Chains A and B, each alone.
Chain A
Amino acid sequence: MAAIVGNDSSVKGRVILRHRLVTRLTHWGWAIALFFLLLSGLQIFNAHPTLYIGQQSGFEFANDILSIKTLRAADGGIEGVTTIFGTDIDTTGILGVSGPEEARAYRAFPAWATLPSYQDLATGRVIHFFFAWVFALVFLFWLVAGIVNGHIRRDILPTGAELRAVPASIADHLRLRFHHDGRYNVLQKLSYGGVLLVVFPLVILTGLTMSPGMNTAWPFLLDLFGGRQTARTIHFFCMAALVLFFVVHIVMVLAAGPLNELRSIITGRYRTEGAEGDHS
């Protein structure tokens, strides 16, 4: 990372090779796979929009922690209610009940959030498992390449000194003061590291824990996550974490200069800031 490939202007900063090919390929592989995994995953979730803790789903006992329901309200209307840890939230219009007033759809996640847009669990599963393979193979490729070429150690794992500087970096970010020298700052390292080395393996392993076949092959997964239904719940919250990451990721790209950032993740070339920030 950060090899100098041009130095046309010291005022505008230098153009460096910021992202190597593996980084760019895996980034877009994941972007495409996660787009389909998210929307097909919500389709699958809609088939039984309740999350539980434990080995099984409580129908005659209560172990649910999140549930999206379509209920008839006291006034006779239909409302969408999302229950999280026993607290009911009216989510009419988005969760439980959605769509135009004249053609309401009674479903957990709305049509615009699922693939296909209509209820089709079978196709949702076909899409999900295809892109699950893509996602996991890209991850395996990234992991091996990142260990071999030093990307993970050099660019992702924060050093002790960087970790001690976390408060200062947070303060800088709160003042919207960003360093743009082509290298990741400690907060970037922590969030990319958290996604790549924690959430990605977690979402893959909890996905596998839901497979009855894999429960037979690797029964320790059930012990690791505390049961199939807990794994399903963790899988869902991994999804939520990745959606949150995506939103912050896009906001930060926009804040940091979208064209330069977008160019760097497509061509690899990135223009650093002028002389004062130019210490890469």
Chain B
Amino acid sequence: MSRFRLDRRRFLTTAGIAASTLPLAGCDALDGFLSGGSSVRAGLAVANGLTYRVQRMLIGADALAPEFSSSEIRQGQRPNGSTDPNEEAYVALKTSNFADYRLQVHGLVEQPKSYSLDELRNMPARTQITRHDCVEGWSCIAKWSGVPLSRLLDEVKVKPEARFVVFHCFDSMNVGLPDTVGYYESIDLIDARHPQTILAYGCNDAPLAVANGAPIRVRVERQLGYKMAKYIRSIELASTLSPYGRGKGGFWEDFGYDWYAGI
């Protein structure tokens, strides 16, 4: 047993070790390793592929995301990203309340088709009360109504070489680059055929509002909000994601966000 004594030598050792931990906080020292194109960052991002494979293994292909009771709807669906696109084509459609809207489904399909909003509304619908999780960290519960994407995929007959569904959108965002970039997203065919993956035209018992993606947005309930493209112009079946944008499979993915957003 001994008493704790702070003699000079121990004090100097102590102070030395304490001081040596301080530079740990100087985090900008590591910034260079973590910037967009660095190989360290690319190496760390490999973990997302592991997360994707493990979650696909743990989650059954058709396992449903949690659904909530209507008493959990306590507010409007919080909009994020584009909330009122000013692209000419979109503004023209909006002015006529989307009467002339046609959703194109094309790419690696046997029978490309296009659908008017009324045609989509008259197809068998699914309504679900689910939680929307933004990558920023917040969540919002709302009721979504729409037609299951799998229904459209069956009608157009997806070719066997197709692996992804790509959503092309009307909106584009200016994120400080010289050019504005069109929003697009992509999911695999497991999520595309998932029963809760719907092309939503209604939210909280009302037609989908412009701020939430009118006339059509997709719900991908087992992933984060940025996967759920709004203002969908066309849907393309593809075997690879490299031809689109910068090749990462989505608008935010091209800016460094993970393609798989189940976490």
Those of A187-243 within 8 Å (CB) of chain B: 210-219, 222, 228-229, 232
B interface residues with partner A (beta carbon < 8 Å):
1-4, 10, 13-14, 17-18, 21, 24-28, 30-31, 34-35, 41, 44-48, 50-51, 55, 58-59, 63-66, 68, 72, 74-76, 78, 131, 133-141, 221-224, 252, 255-258, 262-263
Q: Which of A45, A111, A211, A216 contacts B137 (CB 8 A)?
A: A45
Q: Hey, which chain B residues are within 8 Å of A257, CB to CB?
A: 10
Q: What is the bound-complex CA distance between A130 and B40, given in angstroms?
A: 11
Q: What is the bound-complex CA distance between A35 and B131, given in angstroms?
A: 31
Q: What is the bound-complex CA distance between A47 and B68, given in angstroms?
A: 26
Q: What is the bound-complex CA distance between A43 and B65, given in angstroms?
A: 27
Chosen A-B contacts, 26 in total, with CB atoms closer than 8 Å, are A44-B137, A57-B139, A59-B78, A59-B140, A112-B25, A115-B27, A121-B257, A122-B257, A122-B258, A125-B257, A126-B44, A126-B256, A127-B44, A130-B47, A210-B263, A211-B55, A211-B263, A212-B221, A213-B58, A214-B263, A217-B63, A219-B66, A228-B131, A257-B10, A273-B2, A276-B1
Tally of chain A residues near chain B (CB < 8 A): 63
- CB proximity of B77 to chain A, nearest CB, Å: 10
Asked if A123 CB lies within 8 Å of chain B CBs, one says yes
- CB proximity of B76 to chain A, nearest CB, Å: 7
CB-based contact A180/B2 at 8 Å: yes
Q: Which of A55, A117, A125 contacts B27 (CB 8 A)?
A: A117
Q: What is the bound-complex CA distance between A55 and B247, given in angstroms?
A: 35
Given A55-B141, A232-B137, 6 more A-B residue pairs with CB atoms under 8 Å apart are: A60-B76, A125-B258, A176-B3, A213-B263, A228-B139, A255-B4
Q: Which of A55, A129, A178 contacts B51 (CB 8 A)?
A: A129
Assess A56 versus B72: contact at CB under 8 Å? Given A35-B24, A122-B252, A212-B221.
Answer: yes
Q: Hey, which chain B residues are within 8 Å of A52, CB to CB?
A: 138
Q: Hey, which chain A residues are within 8 Å of B48, CB to CB?
A: 126, 129
A interface residues with partner B (beta carbon < 8 Å):
35, 39, 44-45, 47-48, 50, 52, 55-61, 111-118, 120-123, 125-127, 129-130, 132-133, 176-180, 210-219, 222, 228-229, 232, 250, 254-255, 257-259, 262, 273, 276-277
Q: Hey, which chain B residues are within 8 Å of A116, CB to CB?
A: 27-28, 30-31, 34-35
**Which single residue of chain A is at the shortest CB-CB distance from B56?**
A213
Q: Hey, which chain B residues are within 8 Å of A114, CB to CB?
A: 27
CB-based contact A127/B34 at 8 Å: yes
Chain A CB count within 10 A is highest, among B59, B72, B133, B135, for B133
Q: Hey, which chain A residues are within 8 Å of B10, CB to CB?
A: 257
Tell me if A's interface is mostly helix, strand, loop or mixed.
Answer: helix
Q: Hey, which chain B residues are within 8 Å of A228, CB to CB?
A: 131, 133, 139
- CB proximity of A81 to chain B, nearest CB, Å: 19
CB-based contact A55/B139 at 8 Å: yes
Q: Hey, which chain B residues are within 8 Å of A39, CB to CB?
A: 27
**Which single residue of chain A is at the shortest CB-CB distance from B55?**
A213
CB-based contact A112/B76 at 8 Å: no
Q: Hey, which chain A residues are within 8 Å of B34, CB to CB?
A: 115-116, 120, 123, 127
CB-based contact A133/B55 at 8 Å: no
CB-based contact A216/B75 at 8 Å: no
CB-based contact B44/A216 at 8 Å: no
CB-based contact A121/B135 at 8 Å: yes
Q: Which of B1, B59, B221 contacts A217 (CB 8 A)?
A: B59
CB-based contact B55/A217 at 8 Å: yes
Chain A CB count within 10 A is highest, among B10, B44, B140, for B44
- CB proximity of A3 to chain B, nearest CB, Å: 22
CB-based contact B74/A212 at 8 Å: no
- CB proximity of A214 to chain B, nearest CB, Å: 7
Q: What is the bound-complex CA distance between A192 and B76, given in angstroms?
A: 45
- CB proximity of A196 to chain B, nearest CB, Å: 22
